[in-house]
A and B are shown apart, each in its own frame.
Chain A
């Protein structure tokens, strides 16, 4: 293999988010050293104060767009990045804060803040891909650190990352977990959810919460029928689809079908 000329410059950016996804990078423990030997961290406020100017070979973007200022800033980042990957449910779907998209944000502001005038926010929380071209989206709330390593390795080595978009059920069955929906009648989002976590929750005896967003071919209507058979009413179905990926289109549409406020 040819020696690389120079290490790729990588920047990590934060928008409206909890920082959990960026921290997955620091959480890579044993692999962190290898990562830092292969890439140059040029901008990563969570990890280091050193800031290098762009352009960057790779930008990892966490968080959703919720303010006019951020809606501007993301364009600057795009301009200074050769390759841009969004990480986590906030950046790829608007995050849990996109719950406000189903209401009027001004109502919240007047209830929550003592001085609402200081708040300059957008009506909706939106994914990065609504604003700029994104080269790759890594799902999850939070993202899976092994998948993050895989995506970075793939980028550095110029190959396609292995992050299958099929159902969580496939991961669940491969690891030999007994289906909690069939064997215990627990509600599970696995059949409509994108793989990536390794079917973590069912392996702890709980239904999947849908942290990785919609899988490649969702049939949310059929899942709702199933959830009703298990005893869920419309409110519960709305809550089930309105999690961290509430604003991802298939989940949003399904929740709206069951939301009384829309009827």
Chain B
């Protein structure tokens, strides 16, 4: 693959216009409602220049930085899931015709997205959703078309957040696969530039339209140092040793009751998780009864309807629902899809109002297990 190159912030701006000219809708981080969210971008002016975030369990605060970094923060409340697997969409509609009815499928069209600022953990999350939606027997055509059209400009994290633990999950902070271009932002005292790795031919073709120069060894080394430093800053850690067995062996652990005391069953964790993929369908008719529609909406294992079978819910208690969520994420996901369902992005910790922290819950379960299995 091509050698790394250097672009400056103006080069990044050219990249955005190039992609826009090529028919892409460029989406990426921007400041809105006191947070950094993912929305449509027109130019680098829309990026959160000079902003950062402070994150901890149940707390997110947007803060000013002392420099003009464009990517000086980590992941926020949104994930790319909202573009690839939209929160609400119509699957089909139907109209009655005489004694029959006619189904109108939805048109399979979607904007071509260019995702700017995708972090390593997020690339892994998308790879996990690929397994769910396209690399299996049953393909979700909407996800497929959006995914196959997407262009990825990844960013290596220049700092880790208070709830990040990608190092534990082996998913970051360095972007390793799946990108077209990957940037590392460098802020020297007198220079602001990006070291760009090229991951695909179309990435290389795009770069041709942008002012750039070959990266010197020193610059490449500086980029490596940035990622190295970030690796040492993880806000959280998760010991994943035999984690599947740990969870399967502890389905009746008292810690689940303790969590249930705190858990609101609000489903925020599943909504923000970039790998959670569950959805429900709602069938509606209009008042005349001659027109019907089926809608798909993000769902969560924290709702009662999720396990409603004739006459009752399978998982009626909050305890059973939280346990299902965490056990699926970290254990049964491995049996089902061959990898962990968690990429260590920390969103479920930050955006859980009562600050339930899966890394802490696992360590509590692990510690008490170690104690009980120790001979006394």
Interface residues of A (CB under 8 A from B): 1, 31, 34-35, 37-38, 149-150, 152-154, 156-157, 159, 162, 164-167, 169-170, 173-185, 188, 190-192, 205, 215-217, 219, 221-223, 225-226
Contact = CB atoms under 8 A, between A and B. Distances in A.
Contacts of B226: none
Contacts of A176: 37, 78, 82, 87
B351 A31 contact: no
Contact of B265 (A35, A149, A219): A219
Contact of B59 (A166, A182, A205): A182
B348 to A, nearest CB: 12
Contacts of A31: 287
A59 to B, nearest CB: 18
A226 B354 contact: yes
A162 B64 CA distance: 44
20 contacts: A1-B101, A38-B288, A149-B287, A153-B286, A157-B289, A159-B285, A173-B77, A174-B271, A174-B297, A176-B37, A178-B34, A179-B351, A179-B353, A183-B33, A190-B266, A191-B264, A205-B33, A217-B265, A222-B262, A223-B353
A46 B290 CA distance: 29
Given A166-B305, A219-B264, 13 more contacts: A1-B96, A31-B287, A162-B282, A167-B264, A167-B266, A170-B267, A173-B298, A174-B298, A176-B78, A183-B33, A183-B34, A217-B304, A226-B58
Given A169-B271, A174-B297, A222-B262, A217 B353 contact: no
B297 A216 contact: no
B300 A166 contact: yes
A37 B304 CA distance: 36
Contacts of A190: 266
B287 A167 contact: no
Of the candidates B263, B264, B290, the one having the most CB atoms from chain A within 10 angstroms of its own CB is: B264
B304 A35 contact: no
Of the candidates B96, B271, B287, the one having the most CB atoms from chain A within 10 angstroms of its own CB is: B287
Nearest to B77: A178
A169 B60 CA distance: 16
Given A156-B289, A183-B33, A191 B304 contact: no
Contacts of A38: 287-288
B261 A222 contact: yes
B284 A150 contact: yes
A173 B282 contact: no
A21 to B, nearest CB: 18
Contacts of B33: 177-178, 180, 183, 205
B303 A164 contact: yes
B272 A153 contact: no
Given A164-B305, A170-B267, A170-B300, A183 B35 contact: yes
B88 interface: yes
A153 B305 CA distance: 21
Contacts of B354: 222-223, 225-226
Contacts of A153: 284-287, 289
Nearest to B317: A217
Contacts of A219: 261-265, 318
